[in-house]
Amino acid sequence: SQQGEEDPQALSIQEGENATMNCSYKTSINNLQWYRQNSGRGLVHLILIRSNEREKHSGRLRVTLDTSKKSSSLLITASRAADTASYFCATGLIQGAQKLVFGQGTRLTINP
Amino acid sequence: NAGVTQTPKFQVLKTGQSMTLQCAQDMNHEYMSWYRQDPGMGLRLIHYSVGAGITDQGEVPNGYNVSRSTTEDFPLRLLSAAPSQTSVYFCASRPDMGYGYTFGSGTRLTVV
């Protein structure tokens, strides 16, 4: 099974609301990354958080990491229609650190 | 900067045919990877490279070969195409494992 698993698999909210997506993983990591994929496009790197960091911000994005629970969350504040996309977490493992392992993604829909 | 360039964008193969998916990056990145994306499966790592002349297998390497003769290029070869290889293939590069990946726009491959 996948190293990283996102929850929920799909999320639909109204424009202006906040969106929260969660990622759980199984083995120890060096870092955890979040990516966005618009339909039919390649992935875009959003943010990287290292294993010794607990929280990181980038614009309207806030990422938290809890290594004791092996989980991370991505919060998008004041959502916009343009945020409609799939969001993936990816883990850089301690063992096999050269690899980046992706979860199955959360499909986020922002309704106007 | 072109970033990561993948060719072709679309390809239809007959079962048993071979072909090479091209990937080139102009950012002087050491790390490059190939992923395949199937519905409901997220992205799965096929092969990766940490520098010219160095490649290794990912999660799903069977049926694929890679080589890395230069920093810029990382072609993926399908040896004998099978319908199970119908997928969208993404190439990605990054400076090293402490950074996020830059993705290409993908190659949509159909094997009939």
Q: Which helix H or strand E contains B101, and what residues bound it?
A: none
Chain B nearest C-alpha distance from A18 (Å): 24
Res. A100 pLDDT band, cuts 50 70 90: confident
How far is the C-alpha of B87 from the C-alpha of B18, rounded, in Å?
A: 15
Residue A59 neighbours by CB under 8 Å, 6+ apart: none
Q: Tell me the pLDDT tens digit for each residue of B92-104.
A: 999 988 899 999 9
Contact list, B59 vs chain A (CB under 8 Å): 101
Which whole number is the average pLDDT over B20-44?
Answer: 93
Question: Would you call the peptide bond into B8 cis, given omega within 30 degrees of 0 as the criterion?
Answer: yes
Considering CB atoms only, which of A42, A48, A98 is closest to B48? A98
Cβ proximity of A47 and A60 under 8 Å: no
Structure tokens at B95: 């400076």
* Percent of chain A clearing pLDDT 90 (strictly above): 77
pLDDT at A97 > cutoff 70: no
Considering CB atoms only, which of A48, A50, A102 is closest to B100? A48
Res. A55 pLDDT band, cuts 50 70 90: very high
- Residues of A (35-94) whose Cβ lies below 8 Å from B: 35, 41-48, 50, 88, 90, 92
How far is the C-alpha of B21 from the C-alpha of B13, rounded, in Å?
A: 12
Average pLDDT, chain A: 92
In degrees to the nearest 10, what's the CA dihedral of A67, A13, A106, B37?
A: -150
